[in-house]
């Protein structure tokens, strides 16, 4: 198994068994977005605990890249402050757009599995969908 296969494995695992799938009844933020190029849809609910994102859940339909990215993202954002979330969004965006220097592999963890999408411009929108939804949601915070 080479590295690409391993990454593929992580993506498929999150696609088949997504983390934090659902919708929070007591959400502070309800967000949604679509990627018309691929037909992906993501709905996110976020509950804050003071300045940090306490719980993040998502529902969605679409390709494996978009859904796996959302699943990994919800794991990553829990317990982070809005400022930290902004940094992660920037870092993840840089990675999938192929800017290797900006990437801190320790911080991104499993999300590194999505690095390969930078070679496929149409898939970059899939990978970024969930992140754009969060970015818009916290824009004015
Ligand atoms: Zn897609």
Identify whether the C-beta of residue 139 lies closer than 8 Å to the C-beta of residue 116: no
Name residue, tokens 């965006």.
93
Q: What whole-number percentage of the chain has pLDDT above 90?
A: 79
Backbone φ and ψ for 35, nearest 5 degrees, come out as -115, 95
pTM for the model: 0.94
Average pLDDT over residues 100-106: 76
Distance 77 CA to ligand 1 centre (A): 21
CA distances from 33 to 49, 60, 83 (A): 24, 10, 21
Return d(Cα 30, Cα 45) in angstroms, integer: 5
Average pLDDT of the segment spanning 92-115:
87
Instruction: Measure 62 CA to ligand 1 centroid, in angstroms.
Output: 6
Q: What pLDDT is attached to residue 136?
A: 96
Q: How many A from CA of 91 to the centre of ligand 1?
A: 20
pLDDT band of residue 6 (cuts 50, 70, 90) is: confident
How remote is the CA of residue 51 from the centroid of ligand 1, in Å?
31
pLDDT at residue 39 greater than cutoff 90: yes
122 C-alpha to center of ligand 1: Å?
8
Cα pseudo-dihedral 48, 50, 51, 53, rounded to 10: -20
Q: What is the pLDDT of residue 100?
A: 74
As a whole number of angstroms, the distance between CA 40 and CA 63 comes to: 6
pLDDT surpassing 70 at residue 2: no
pLDDT value for 1? 53
């Amino acid at each position: 198994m080479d590295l690409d296969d391993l990454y593929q494995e992580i993506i498929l695992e999150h696609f088949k068994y997504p983390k934090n799938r659902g919708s929070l009844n007591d959400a502070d933020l309800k967000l949604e977005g679509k990627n018309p190029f691929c037909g992906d849809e993501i709905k996110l609910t976020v509950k804050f605990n003071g300045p940090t994102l306490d719980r993040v859940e998502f529902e969605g339909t679409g390709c494996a890249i978009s859904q796996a990215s959302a699943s990994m993202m919800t794991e990553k954002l829990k317990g982070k402050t809005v400022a930290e979330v902004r940094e992660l969004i920037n870092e993840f965006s840089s990675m999938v757009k192929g800017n290797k220097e900006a990437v801190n592999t320790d911080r991104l963890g499993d999300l590194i599995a999505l690095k390969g999408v930078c070679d496929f411009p149409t898939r970059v929108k899939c990978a970024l969908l969930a992140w754009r939804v969060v970015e818009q949601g916290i824009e004015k915070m």
